Structure 1
Amino acid sequence: MTAALFPEVVVNGEIIPSAAIAAEAQNHSAPKDKPGIAWRKAAQALTIRALLLQEAQRRGLTAEPEELSPGRVETEEEALIRVLLDQALTITPVTEETVREEWAKNPERYRSAPLWDVSHILCACDPRDAEGRTAAEARANAILEKLDGDAKDFANAARESDCGSKASGGHLGQLGPGDTVPEFEAALRELPEDSISPAPVLSRHGWHIIRLNAIASGQVLPFETVRPKIAEAQEKTAWARASREFVETIAKGAEISGTCLAPI
């Protein structure tokens, strides 16, 4: 992807450098075979940034950068945009009624995290080592074939595991979301209770044969517990909507070439 493939982006006479768009494109996702999508998303983002900064300048705004987190301070441009939006946006306050209405639509959505009682057999390898990965997979498949779906014999088969849990039949105990690597957790979420993964699961540690012994579904949480989360989500939604509408308003009176602000 080169800048020559894309038109020059100009916002009210201000040229956005192609190098800046290329750098911004690294922050936007796109299919591997369609890098132009990332470029167009980046061009949009920088166009919006330019519009906001131009509007702040038109209003004669000034801003003092604030500390965002320990060791990270806003840039002057970030501070100007913050001050502009604080001045320009009118956000409808979230009320107790709107929060309760959202919760009442489906209280089942708000549950505590599930717990999985899990055992596994690990055939360790470095996934980056093709030869070692293939050998470990073959070994895992051989163990899985011997099990033949028999979850009851799992503890005996776990003696062949490369994990210290083999001393307790491969038992890992109770795990919750985030307690294990993403690949392992994704497989857990697909398994029925009292079953074994139909194929070995690869993670950074090697190949796993996973047994889901039992699952404790999360409990429905009371309104008082989830109220802050719902209110925060509604506030963010309202702010995003107001921001989008404000950008659309100033864009209507702008001269923009080389990009558009329609959703990609």
Structure 2
Amino acid sequence: MNTDSIIASSNHQGWPRVSINGAPLDPQTIALEMQYHPAETREEAVFLAAQALVIRELLEQRAAYLGVEVIPQADETEEEAFIRGLLELEVAVPTVDESALEQFYQSNLERFSSAPLVAARHILLAVAPDDVAGRSRVREQAVALLCQLRESPGRFTELAAQYSDCPSREQGGALGQLSSGQTVAEFERQLLRLDEGLASQPLESRYGFHIVLVDQRIEGKQLPFELVSDSIRAELGERVWQKAVVQYIETLIGEAEIEGIVMRGAASPLLQ
């Protein structure tokens, strides 16, 4: 990215000379802020840090102008408390009506159902997550073992006892009944999508490669709207709040005298 058009001026040390309504940004403050804004280049990180500090300064100036007085909550700095108090005072957030909640529910039915229940067995061929060459080799072994099972599915217990690196090999690879939250995320995402029978490909996880046989699958049930309406209201309310805050910050930017940087937008620096 070419930041020349974004950061308008800099001193001989490469720090932008930025001021907000006459208040200059200290280059040391920008340097400290950069740790929170990783980027591909130093110039991009400098810009992101300066942008965040500009928005923070605008909010603090506005809070001081209005005489905002707030007592910090637990784990909240005085600066964070002032910004919270300012937003509570000046940002009007529309309420989310019941029809919007129901529309969101109907448009996202798959999100509001209980997870399926899966009774499965597996054969784990273990390999370290950072062993690239080993992972390639072990995957080939898993595919070869899977081919044997396609020809002789009745040998699953035998092959689990012989090859699996999981203690479940003592029970023929049986994992019992699994649902959401009972195993590592990357394995769970794949497992809960499987139909009954032998999985067509090995499943990869941080532990290695799993050859999986699903003995039984019980589909999840649709959760009623009344049960999930509060969580939907909270999610949509958060979206509405973020949009209102972004619009408020953009208004402050538009009314301010900002020198040394061309602001790209208001969303990410504050809401992160």
TM-score by length of 2: 0.77
Deviates more, 1:87-96 or 1:207-216: 207-216
1:218 Cα deviation after fit? 2.1
Q: Percent identity?
A: 35
Aligned residue pair count: 251
Q: Which residue of 2 aligns with 1:70?
A: none
1:51 Cα deviation after fit? 1.5
Which structure 1 segments of 5+ residues have no match? 68-72
- C-alpha separation between the residues in 1 aligned to 2:195 and 2:112? 22
1:220 aligns with 2:222: yes
**Residues 9, 259 of structure 1: 8 Å contact kept:** no
From 172, 180, 185, the counterpart of 2:183: 180
Q: 1:47-196 to 2 correspondence within 5 Å?
A: 47-67=54-74, 73-105=75-107, 107-128=109-130, 136-137=138-139, 139-148=141-150, 151-159=153-161, 160-189=163-192, 191-196=194-199
Deviates more, 1:138-147 or 1:219-228: 138-147
Task: Give RMSD over aligned pairs.
Answer: 3.1
- C-alpha separation between the residues in 1 aligned to 2:257 and 2:211? 59
1:197 Cα deviation after fit? 4.7
What SS does structure 1 have at the residue aligned with 2:69? coil
Q: Which residue of 2 aligns with 1:248?
A: 250
Q: Which residue identity lines up with residue 246 of structure 1 in the other structure?
A: Y
From 18, 22, 27, the counterpart of 2:30: 18
1:221 Cα deviation after fit? 1.0
- C-alpha separation between the residues in 2 aligned to 1:36 and 1:192? 50
**Residues 197, 215 of structure 2: 8 Å contact kept:** yes
Q: Which residue of 2 aligns with 1:211?
A: 213
- C-alpha separation between the residues in 1 aligned to 2:107 and 2:144? 49
Which structure 2 segments of 5+ residues have no match? 1-9
Cα separation, partners in 2 of 1:39 and 1:150, compared to 1, 3 Å:
farther
**Residues 137, 200 of structure 1: 8 Å contact kept:** no
**Residues 141, 200 of structure 1: 8 Å contact kept:** no
- C-alpha separation between the residues in 1 aligned to 2:95 and 2:139? 56
**Residues 140, 200 of structure 1: 8 Å contact kept:** no
1:239 Cα deviation after fit? 1.2
TM-score by length of 1: 0.79
Give per-residue Cα distances to partners, 1:75-96, cap 9 Å, x unaligned: 1100000110111111222333
**Residues 94, 234 of structure 1: 8 Å contact kept:** yes
- C-alpha separation between the residues in 2 aligned to 1:80 and 1:192? 53
- C-alpha separation between the residues in 1 aligned to 2:211 and 2:242? 44
- C-alpha separation between the residues in 1 aligned to 2:16 and 2:147? 58
- C-alpha separation between the residues in 2 aligned to 1:150 and 1:252? 71
- C-alpha separation between the residues in 2 aligned to 1:42 and 1:118? 49
**Residues 117, 219 of structure 2: 8 Å contact kept:** yes
What SS does structure 1 have at the residue aligned with 2:129? coil
1:97 Cα deviation after fit? 3.9
